[in-house]
Structure 1
Amino acid sequence: MICQQIQRPAYWLILALSCFSLNSYAIESSTANCKVDKVESGWQYLNAQCDIGKGLWGRAPKNKDSSFWIQCHYGQSLPNSRTTATINKLFKNNSYLVPDNGKSRCLIGPFQSHAQAQGAKLQLARHQLKDTFIRQTNTRITLPGQVKYSPAPVKPQTTKTSAKSSSSSSSKKTLVENRVVLNSVIYSFTFNNLKYHLPRNINSTQDMPPMFVREHNQYWSKVNYAAANKWCQRYGLRLPTAEELKELQTHGQHFLLRNNWPIKSSYWSSTISLYSGEIESINLRNGQRDEYRPLALLYTTCVIAAS
């Protein structure tokens, strides 16, 4: 009996120490298990054991020792070229993909404070990447070779007088410098069992298009028929027929309005007129049907059958 009384406290002490060491190991291993498994298509892939946390969705972070990620993409395909270029420009060494049941999740980080993650999220928004959110991990995450994040310096505000004096020259410079024809097509909506992709638009500087129009605070590219057709075929898509565009203009106006499609110019179709041999086009604002020679410059959208 005396022996049992002596041994029992010792037993509980050993058990408590064992539990403490196991919990410590679990935290350490969770951190240590977060690593880059491979590099493919220019992306670093994290292993499945990495703690990616849960989305905050605007909520205040929980008060605990943790890290933060910014989720910048989720889907079966990789982030498009514009998104990839922006992320590489801002966070080249701190951006990753995580496989998730046949899909890929794009993460930027890990940031060691919520304020850092918020600053990076604002930085992405300034580059037109607004569909992002912050995730908070259960443990503090560090990655081998991670580059420390430094927020971009805030530009000092100019006075009203100086802004007025330089407005004419700076506006022209900005208009020229902020253009690049997107090298990807972005799904917009499905109508009549066809997936319509966003019209070709302009986002920054390199390949200057022959013509562009400003609508909905964006610059939309107008290209010739060969360029339009080639652009669609590059992504396994096609130009819509004149009848498909006419149907969209007649019965799909709410899709066009909801997705802020440009309608000031006509759209190329794949239909060739039997009488003139020219290519038919449709104006999505008023439904007017015209015929153009291949060198004309019009708006372009691409379609594919919805599966």
Structure 2
Amino acid sequence: MAVKPKRPFVKLLSFALLTVPVFSSSVHAQEFLCDAIQVSATELPQLDQACPIGKGLWGKQKPKGQSSQFWIQCGVYSKPLSLDKAKNLYKHISKDVWLKPEGKTYRCLLGPYKQFSVASSELKQVQKEPGYKEAFIREIVRGAPAKPLKSESKSNPKKAPSEPAPVATPKPKPEVARAATVLPAVVAPSVDMAKSSPKKKLETEVSVRLATTINGVEYQVPYLMFSDDQFYMEHDLPWNRMSYERAYKTCYRQGMRLASADEWQALLDSGVMAKDKWPMHLPYWGAQKTGLFYSGKVNQLKGSSLLNVMCVK
């Protein structure tokens, strides 16, 4: 059964992969948002060509990095794999199915995974499905090198058939509170709101979705209805994704500000986010262009990143 979009006027979906690392010569790996699009509700989302997928781990090879991330490659196709054709994979995996266009072909990927053990376990189940016997793991190397491994032959894997047989499966449940998780983000069209000024929209169309008070600090998650801002779906609700400047102005016009690292940690320690189903799959903007991650990390980011918005006072 095809997945229906949450809003009838939505024509374009975009996705974000959270904290996919790129290994560089510096001590710490870089983290960024990896974009993707889904052009219809009956097609799999497609990763941007810039998204890293790493290199294959053949045979009994083990990860080369101590804190790498992983994909399962499920095949390479001459045309996009339909969502219905890929549904038989969901009963075996805790992540999502993606396509990555490469020239005239489409690479099928499952993930991303933070733990090699989880990827390996789910790979074994995926390989039992007809057409996916040659699936394998890809590693995005991150962190210090692992212990040296004996050299092994690296033969190229066979490509999976272009049309694996569909198997009816229950709709997978989204995961909660993971640091590297994939969730859809929807780009809303400008629905006859162009005549309203941005200031007027902010003042009249702001809905406070969530609120709590911790140690005398009030926390709010606003949502700008009918705006041109991007949003993504989590807990069956849309949540705004904004640049730093947009998030800063949204809080300022509500008489509030962006949270500090200490205020963010206090919110995490309270357990309110998991209890009340706060959006957690994307980081929040914090003061001074910091990204506040649910894992507890606080990283300096570019102001152009599109993140969750939370205001405090």
- By the TM > 0.5 criterion, same fold? no
Higher RCO (C-alpha 8 Å, min separation 6): 2
TM-score by length of 1: 0.36
Q: When you count strand as a share of all residues, which structure comes out higher?
A: 2
Q: Name the larger-Rg structure.
A: 1
